Structure 1
Amino acid sequence: MQVHTRHTPAFGVARISLAPGEAVQAVPGTLIANSFGVTEVQQARGGLRAHGKGSPSVFTAPKEGGWVDLAPEGPGDVYPLEFDGRTGWNVAKQAFLARPSTVRVDAGWQALQALFGSDGGFLEHYSGTGPLVLACAGPVDALTIEAGELITVRPQYLLAYPDSVQCRLRALDPAGPQSIRTGDGLALDFAGPGTVLVQARKSR
């Protein structure tokens, strides 16, 4: 699976090229067009339903291969995050657009359970190899954190951070309203070295 983007960063479209028989899972309703012969099957169940996007669609190329063009529902960028099989990433739930079968969602990831407790939080953990395509509300910035450096990010702007970066979740105002599900009233503190991906506009 290869990903090429266009119309970025304001109205990003991801063209996903598939090898013969290869499949990609994507958010339903994001398909613009595809090469002839690509089939679509909507899964009966999937983690996407939990955050309001319905069950994922799976697009499979015919024996000669093919492509699909995907675009988020709203304006913004699309960003292919490449997985090397060594480092996992914690990704904002609303940012998922598409992934191959070689990139998996790790339900019940221990580090996220430690971050959020028993409640389902606003992040998911992914691992594997290949590109995970993210839908972003604005252009993507990669914030490089040096060893010993600390930064704070608001959850609504966070896209992803690798397992190698240390993270702490805290309340902006302990007496104010907070939501583990949306990140409202919360902040994330990160310690380097590493890179944190953020979007230049708040997620919808």
Structure 2
Amino acid sequence: MQVQTRHTPTFGVARIVLAQGEAVQADAEAMLASSFGITTSRPSRGQPPVFTAPAGGGWIDLAPGHAGDVYPLGFDGKTGWSVAPGAVLARPSTVRRDHPWPPLQALFGGDSGFLDHFSGSGQLVLATRGPVDALTLEAGELITVRPAFLVAYPDTIQVRLRALDPAGPQSVRTGEGLALDFAGPGTVLVQARR
């Protein structure tokens, strides 16, 4: 699977080029166009459809339902990523959603929280509101990110969840009233709009 992007960072479109028999899972409403012969199947009720390339391969163009960037996030088979829910535009079968994932359960105090964890190899295509900024942290460097702007961060970076105002309203399901503190080294992906 190869990912080509265009019209970024404002109105991103991802062209996913598939070899014969390769497949990608994506929201049916996001399909803008495809080469002839791409087939669609639904693995189970409530799951997004799977688009599969015919003999000779093919492509599918995906456009998110909101303005912003599309960002291919590479997985090397070793390091997983915690990703904001709703940010995934397309997922190959070689990248899996890990649910539940114990470190996220620990971060959120046993709740499901406002992040999903993915691991495997290949490219997870993300759709964001606004351009993506990759904030690269040196060893020992600290930053704070509001959950509404967070896109993803790797397992290799240290993270702590805290209340912005201990007396104010907070929700581990939405991120309201919370902040994430990150310690480098590592890269944190944020979106420029919420």
- The equivalent of 1:5 in structure 2 is 5
1:165 equivalent in alignment to 2:161: no
CA offset digits 1:66-103 (Å, max 9, x no partner)? 00000100100000000111111111112111011001
Instruction: Tell me the distance in 2 between the aligned counterparts of 1:146 and 1:113.
Output: 27
Superposed displacement of residue 44, structure 1: 2.4
- Segments of structure 1 that go 5 or more residues without pairing to the other structure are 47-54
How many residues in Structure 1 have an aligned counterpart in Structure 2?
194
Query: Which aligned pairs between 1:83-122 and structure 2 lie closer than 5 A?
Result: 83-122=75-114
Superposed displacement of residue 175, structure 1: 1.0
1:14 equivalent in alignment to 2:14: yes
Instruction: Tell me the distance in 1 between the aligned counterparts of 2:52 and 2:180.
Output: 38
- The equivalent of 1:37 in structure 2 is 37
Instruction: Tell me the distance in 2 between the aligned counterparts of 1:137 and 1:70.
Output: 15
SS at match of 1:156: helix
- Segments of structure 2 that go 5 or more residues without pairing to the other structure are none
Superposed displacement of residue 43, structure 1: 3.3
Q: What's the TM-score once normalised by structure 2's chain length?
A: 0.97
- Percent identity, aligned pairs only, is 72
Query: Which aligned pairs between 1:178-197 and structure 2 lie closer than 5 A?
Result: 178-197=170-189
Instruction: Tell me the distance in 2 between the aligned counterparts of 1:169 and 1:25.
Output: 31
Task: Give the superposed CA RMSD.
Answer: 0.9
Alignment partner of 2:192 out of 191, 200, 203 = 200
One-letter identity of the residue aligned with 2:54: P
Q: What's the TM-score once normalised by structure 1's chain length?
A: 0.93
Runs of 4+ residues over 3 Å off in structure 1: none
Asked if 2 retains the 8 angstrom alpha-carbon contact of 1:27 and 1:96, the reply is: no
